[in-house]
Every structure is written in structure tokens, then in C-alpha cells.
Homo-oligomer: A and B are copies of this chain.
Amino acid sequence: MSRTRPPSSIAVARLAGVSQSAVSRTFTPGGIVSPATRAKVLAAASTLGYRPNLLSRSLTTGRSGIVAVAVGGLSNPFHAMALDCFATGLQRRGQQVMLVVVEDEWALGSAVELLSGYQVDAVLSSLSVNARDVAEALTRFGVPIVTMNSSVTNRWVRTVAADDHEAGAAIAKHLYGQGARRFGYIAGRSGTLAQERREAGFRQGLAEFGITDCERAQGNHLHSGGAASVRALYASGTGPDGLFCLNDLTAMGAIDALRVEFGLRCPEDVLVAGYDNIDGSAWPPYRLTTVDVGLDRVAAEAFALIEEEDGGPPEVLVQPRLVLRASTRS
């Protein structure tokens, strides 16, 4: 596509019969120009279709106005929600979003390396950083990074976390209160912090009722993993009657498999709870009890963190909210 260079401030200045600085000042917020000059400049700019080149502006100002957002696979609605939240929030604040889709925290490292070349003002990530060497690598770029649920933080890597432990315990208490006595937990793929905290909280919650047994299966954060886990848990003998899944997608897969493959009803035979409060969790086939982390608040805290002067807290905790629905109403 043969692109001719767009008009520069010099071209506008020439047409308007003023200096290039006058053009620059006209388009710089807070720039001092007389109304007459401003009018001439704006007229010339509009006939030429001039728009200031924001990249070269960032050369002098040192701020690009670009914030990078790194998210995991968008086929998980939670990641899509998080991205939507971050992106619209940033747009409202007049910042641009550079998107990176990333597999895991190691990919985050190389992504940030690349992004630092684009002088991004900050990086927001819905992934967590739990490996010390990844955190150190990220630190090298001198870019403020805000992640979700990281266990490793430092001057440049901060985190906004939901109180997953608390939420896990609350789910345990709720399930017990609804009459469940044989418990199961369906985990995610890797040992992420969110995952570990939810499970630990759940088990501690159970322990308070003197329950130490809790079956466990490994999913993949997706619908298919929930279904596969149910197959593993219920294949022989009686499975759990209270099931906590690390996220909604997993829980929905679990419910579907319980019904279709084992003829078990939810909530009559098995109580199921999830996490994330994605749109689908509220639909009639599921009516899933779940946990809403409050992405709006997470985003707001993240925005505050990247503006924070040095010395801000390395970790901010947000209180998630239990969403009770029919999937756990016995």
C-alpha cells in the first residue's frame, strides 16, 4: 500500500504563515498561543488533514501514552472480561492499549522485552508472576508492571490480588451449610497462585468442620477439563456431593458431564460452585454459585498502582464477593 507521508507541523506552519513552534503550541495542551494564530493554524491544519505525530511527541516528552496489556487465551471469557475492563478504563483515561496475548509468565518476559522497545508507560497483566527469575527479568526493563495475584513482587512488579483464600473458605462454608459432606476440588493446569490459594482456602474452610478429606482432579481451566475431571472423580463408586471448581468454565463442564454422563442432578445430587462470575454462569442450565472478584475494582487499583510514585504498596488486596445461585441450593 503506497503510503505518502502525512503532513507535518512544518507544512502546516508554512501554509498558515507561522513558525513550526506556533503549530506545536497550538496542539500542545496548555500551549500559549494567541487566538488569532491558533485560528490560522487550525484552518491550515484542517485543510491539510494534519494530526500531530504522537510517536515523535513521545520522543521529547518521554511518555508514550501507551500501556501494554498482557492477557492469557481469550477463549476464556474471564480473560476477555479482564481485557475489556482494562482497555475501556485505559481508553477513558486517554491512554492507548498495546495488546499482547501470552501463553504463560515466561512468554510474559519476552513480551515485555519487546514492549519496552515501544516505550510503554506501564504493563498490566491478568497473568501472575510466581517464578523469581521471571520477576527479575521483568525488573530489568524499568517499566512499572501490575499483575494479578503474583506471589513475587518488587519495586517494578506489583500485584492486585483478590482474596482467593478467603473466598475459597467461604465456598467451603456455604457448601457445608447446604448439606454437602463429601467434597471434591477441580484444579487448573499449573500451580498458579490463584489456584493454590483457592484450594488452600477451600480446604481450610472444610477443616473448620472437621473435614480433611477432599478428592481432587486436574482440569485445564476450560469446559473440557471440568468434564474430564468429573469422569475421573465419579467413574467408580460415589463421587463428591460438594464440588468446588477453580473457575466457572470448569464448573460448567463439570455440571454438564454430571448430568449427561452420570445422570446426576445439580443441585439435587451434587452442589457445584465456580469462580469468576462469567456471563454464562448465570444462564438457566447452570445458575452457578460463584465468586465475583470485582474486576472494576481490580482495574481501578491497577490504574492507581501504575500512577503511584515509588513506595506504593507492592500488593493490593481486593475483597471478592460470593454470588449465590441455584447450583448450590439443595
A interface residues, Cβ below 8 angstroms from B: 1-6, 49, 51-56, 58-59, 62, 64, 66, 69, 73-75, 77, 80-81, 83-84, 87-88, 91, 96-101, 113-114, 116-119, 122, 140-144, 223, 252-253, 256, 259-260, 279-280, 283-286, 306-310
In the assembly, what is the distance between CA of A285 and CA of B69, in Å?
Answer: 34
What does DSSP make chain A's interface, helix, strand, loop or mixed? mixed
In the assembly, what is the distance between CA of A81 and CA of B6, in Å?
Answer: 33
* 16 new A-B contacts at CB < 8 Å, known A55-B58, A97-B98, A99-B99: A1-B122, A1-B306, A6-B142, A52-B117, A53-B119, A54-B117, A56-B56, A74-B81, A77-B77, A87-B99, A91-B100, A91-B101, A96-B118, A223-B280, A252-B283, A256-B284
Name the CB-closest residue of B to A144.
Answer: B1
Name the CB-closest residue of B to A52.
Answer: B117
Are B54 and A118 closer than 8 Å at their CB atoms?
Answer: yes
20 interchain pairs, CB-CB under 8 A: A1-B309, A2-B310, A3-B142, A3-B144, A4-B142, A6-B116, A6-B142, A49-B141, A53-B59, A53-B117, A53-B119, A54-B118, A55-B56, A56-B56, A74-B74, A75-B279, A88-B101, A97-B99, A97-B100, A259-B284
In the assembly, what is the distance between CA of A306 and CA of B59, in Å?
Answer: 27
* B-chain residues with CB within 8 Å of residue A118 when the two chains form the complex: 54-55, 66, 96
In the assembly, what is the distance between CA of A111 and CA of B115, in Å?
Answer: 22
Are B140 and A49 closer than 8 Å at their CB atoms?
Answer: yes
Are A75 and B64 closer than 8 Å at their CB atoms?
Answer: no
